[in-house]
Structure 1
């Protein structure tokens, strides 16, 4: 879901060994704009102000276009119009952007045994309403919403770029990977301007390209959700995090994460924080959710299907906090 609220970024970013903002006739530029309910921040190196301004404007326009297509908050968005045709028996033609993100979603759903699922829209809608009202959904409401979900109920035809939603009442929600996808697309736009060193922070979903001039990488500090920090000089990778720090529902003394388990329809209870590093921002974003849902034990098996990804997963087990970290 593309939330309309502003949330805090999880990553603390900086530059390794930077003492000046200008190297090899390139200067450092920073732009920030509120989009998709989060602060989107661009940092990159360009030859001059003119190139930097045009490039940044073009990148933000690309993100806004994607939001128009993919936001389930907008009644007229393409993804909502597709959902409205669920159960019609029709294969619906969609744009390349919508088809591509749904194809990535389906691939990850299969590889994570359903721990990630873009068809959870009915459940997400139910929990949004419950959170606003402060009322825990009835078991019958959860069951009814769950009956309209399931990634196997969505079929894709790559040749015709058509989508088939088999059951009436389905509602797609690609919030679990949408910001990572938008970050990747924004970076592609900047690269068409000859810009090579880029840090795109889409509300904590970060895509990094080549290191800033004169450095070994973008200096990223990652938190485990409590008191442990890890700083890494990174380049040409993407990072994403998930956790209930800012978005959750508390009911009768129990805190439920905004991340819903596709198998139960209920927010996670034991998840603390997940950070994923992958080669692609969309994949990193989706895996941050999938590993959070799967938990440490299952994620250790799932990660074998994603050899280019690393994870730092923290969860509560009984009275203790357990961690699994492959970022080393």
Structure 2
């Protein structure tokens, strides 16, 4: 899903780090967290301190996963899901805030982003085994329990209640971005001068490279992911990409993405990838999914109304579209 953005810390090495100075070095570690590939890069006085900093970031990400995982039966999120249609569940201020912000993004995107999408019946398969499209009734029934309006929040009691039995919430479209933000905040508060948290394409940066230069993001050519058609400098900023390079199905010559519109139950069409740039990775993560679902025209129009947020959209014809604040630079 995360195929468009290539950072200096990625295996393809599309970003040059530059020469290190004599004081600080760059330390990098790759591991599997939250079911996906995380790559953490920090600027540190030496290798030992760098790895200690990275270990602290990993602990923070693991803490967040225990809170938001819908697969962990002991998580707060699982308790909310288990009590759907039964009773409100008191949660931590941190999780309450994440759900509250998620609902606000749902309102802004008219439901294109919706954490209750986890309530959807799995009637679409993207493993090559589908030979017919589900019926209209099957699709309609599959989304019957979805609806961010049915997530009831009580700010005074700090409770979350899913109105209908069988409803579920999941943070698959915002959780990795949130974890990247929190890991960055932790390292920054401890005096780590700069770095990148890359959660399989949901990434956030702070500070600069050891040379004092800005971190650069390479936007890959949609016809060849190993070639960069533009470089964008990012400072104290984040980026996230949604794409259908790997998971999709073809019916009658039409390409259907694995990203399904929670409002209609149909897979999205017309877009190959969406990259969102903003201050917080959490917001980038959520809006990348939303714009993919909304389509290039409605999606970019929405992005142009939000201060501090930009988008690059590659449509199904591999044509590039961008929001008003994006300026391409083909010379890294």
CA distance in 1 between partners of 2:277 and 2:45 (Å) = 29
How far residue 201 of structure 1 moved from its aligned partner, in angstroms, is 0.6
For each residue in 1:205-256, what CA deviation from the matched residue of structure 2 results, as whole angstroms up to 9, or x when unmatched?
1101111133330021012533572102211110001110122344565432
Asked if 1:161 corresponds to 2:155, the answer is no
How far residue 281 of structure 1 moved from its aligned partner, in angstroms, is 0.6
CA distance in 1 between partners of 2:314 and 2:77 (Å) = 33
What's 1:4 paired with?
none
For each residue in 1:270-325, what CA deviation from the matched residue of structure 2 results, as whole angstroms up to 9, or x when unmatched?
22111110011100111111111111221243224421100111223xx7846234
Whether the 8 Å CA contact 2:277–2:284 is kept in 1: the answer is: yes
How far residue 21 of structure 1 moved from its aligned partner, in angstroms, is 2.6
**Matched position secondary structure for 2:145:** coil
Unaligned runs of 5+ in 2: 10-14, 328-332
CA distance in 2 between partners of 1:277 and 1:50 (Å) = 32
Q: What RMSD, in angstroms, separates the aligned Cα atoms of the two structures? A: 2.4
CA distance in 2 between partners of 1:216 and 1:233 (Å) = 9
CA distance in 1 between partners of 2:21 and 2:155 (Å) = 45
Whether the 8 Å CA contact 1:224–1:314 is kept in 2: the answer is: no
What's 2:278 paired with?
278
Higher helix share: 1
In structure 2, relative to structure 1, the CA distance for the partners of 1:45 and 1:260 (3 Å cut) is same
In structure 2, relative to structure 1, the CA distance for the partners of 1:250 and 1:81 (3 Å cut) is farther
What's 1:108 paired with?
105
> Where in structure 1 do 4 or more consecutive aligned residues deviate above 4 Å?
15-18, 250-254, 319-322
When normalised by structure 1's length, the TM-score is 0.87
How far residue 157 of structure 1 moved from its aligned partner, in angstroms, is 2.6
Whether the 8 Å CA contact 1:242–1:273 is kept in 2: the answer is: yes
What's 1:264 paired with?
264
In structure 2, relative to structure 1, the CA distance for the partners of 1:8 and 1:108 (3 Å cut) is closer
Asked if 1:122 corresponds to 2:119, the answer is yes
Asked if 1:98 corresponds to 2:95, the answer is yes
CA distance in 2 between partners of 1:308 and 1:324 (Å) = 14
Whether the 8 Å CA contact 1:9–1:204 is kept in 2: the answer is: yes
How far residue 96 of structure 1 moved from its aligned partner, in angstroms, is 3.0
Q: How many correspondences in the alignment?
A: 316
What's 2:71 paired with?
73
CA distance in 2 between partners of 1:79 and 1:35 (Å) = 18
**Matched position secondary structure for 2:85:** coil
CA distance in 2 between partners of 1:231 and 1:322 (Å) = 14
**Matched position secondary structure for 1:222:** strand
CA distance in 1 between partners of 2:68 and 2:82 (Å) = 14
Where do residues 114-153 of structure 1 align in structure 2 (5 Å cutoff)? 114-123=111-120, 126-127=122-123, 130-131=125-126, 134-135=129-130, 136-153=133-150
**Matched position secondary structure for 2:49:** helix
Whether the 8 Å CA contact 1:134–1:251 is kept in 2: the answer is: no
What's 2:330 paired with?
none
What's 1:40 paired with?
38
Asked if 1:14 corresponds to 2:4, the answer is no
CA distance in 2 between partners of 1:233 and 1:44 (Å) = 18
CA distance in 1 between partners of 2:318 and 2:223 (Å) = 13
What's 1:63 paired with?
61
**Matched position secondary structure for 1:52:** helix
How far residue 126 of structure 1 moved from its aligned partner, in angstroms, is 0.7
Whether the 8 Å CA contact 2:300–2:311 is kept in 1: the answer is: no
